[in-house]
A = this chain, B = another copy of it.
Amino acid sequence: MEKLKIYGFEMSRISEVYLSTLSSIMAPHGLDRYYFPLLYLCEHSGKLTQKDLAEAIRRDKVYTMRIVDYLSDKDLLKRKQDCNDRRCQILEVTDNAKKLVPKIKEAIAKTDELLFHDFSTKEKEDFKIGMSKLFATINTLPDPEFIVKAFKKKK
């Protein structure tokens, strides 16, 4: 008799612990969230609008704007008017942000080390493959309404 697993539930707990661990390691450096968006912005500094960022992190524009607000307040990011389309803003990271990148990477490595400490190299590799597959899948999933209909029909 196997114990029932709800992956969504376990994952949400794991991600909470992961991110709060990362956050406490990074707190002394003055940044306690939005690590992925910041890294992404650093990699594409001066080339992204808020809309582009929203698509990259798969969030709505309000959420994205709040990230930009937050990072701007911390002097890690600047909004610059796009001359071609005055509706858009080009996002450009500051030197502070660039200096922070290695700290973040170090903190991520440390967090991984903590959470995967009892994984063998092979197990890590397998797990990474699974995560990549899942992440690819969720990014191509039809919207929930469709899923419900398909589910009902099948019954």
Residue-wise, chain A 23-43 has the 8 Å CB interface mask toward B (1 for contact) of 111011000000110010000
Q: Would B138 and A115 count as touching, CB distance under 8 A? A: yes
Q: Would A108 and B4 count as touching, CB distance under 8 A? A: yes
- Whether, in the assembled complex, A129 has its beta carbon less than 8 Å from a beta carbon of chain B, the answer is yes
Residue-wise, chain A 41-73 has the 8 Å CB interface mask toward B (1 for contact) of 000000000000000001000000000000000
Pick from B24, B105, B116, B138: contact of A144, CB under 8 Å: B24
CA distance A45 to B61 in the complex (A): 43
- Whether, in the assembled complex, A134 has its beta carbon less than 8 Å from a beta carbon of chain B, the answer is yes
- Whether, in the assembled complex, A88 has its beta carbon less than 8 Å from a beta carbon of chain B, the answer is no
Among residues of B, the one whose C-beta sits closest to the C-beta of A25 is B151
Residue-wise, chain A 110-144 has the 8 Å CB interface mask toward B (1 for contact) of 11101111110001001111110111011001001
CA distance A108 to B152 in the complex (A): 14
Q: Would A15 and B11 count as touching, CB distance under 8 A? A: yes
Q: Would A27 and B148 count as touching, CB distance under 8 A? A: yes
CA distance A16 to B28 in the complex (A): 29
CA distance A18 to B145 in the complex (A): 14
CA distance A27 to B148 in the complex (A): 9
Q: Would A148 and B28 count as touching, CB distance under 8 A? A: yes
Q: List 19 A-B contacts (CB under 8 A).
A: A4-B108, A5-B128, A6-B39, A6-B108, A7-B15, A8-B19, A10-B131, A10-B135, A11-B15, A12-B15, A17-B141, A21-B144, A24-B147, A27-B148, A114-B137, A115-B134, A117-B137, A123-B126, A123-B130
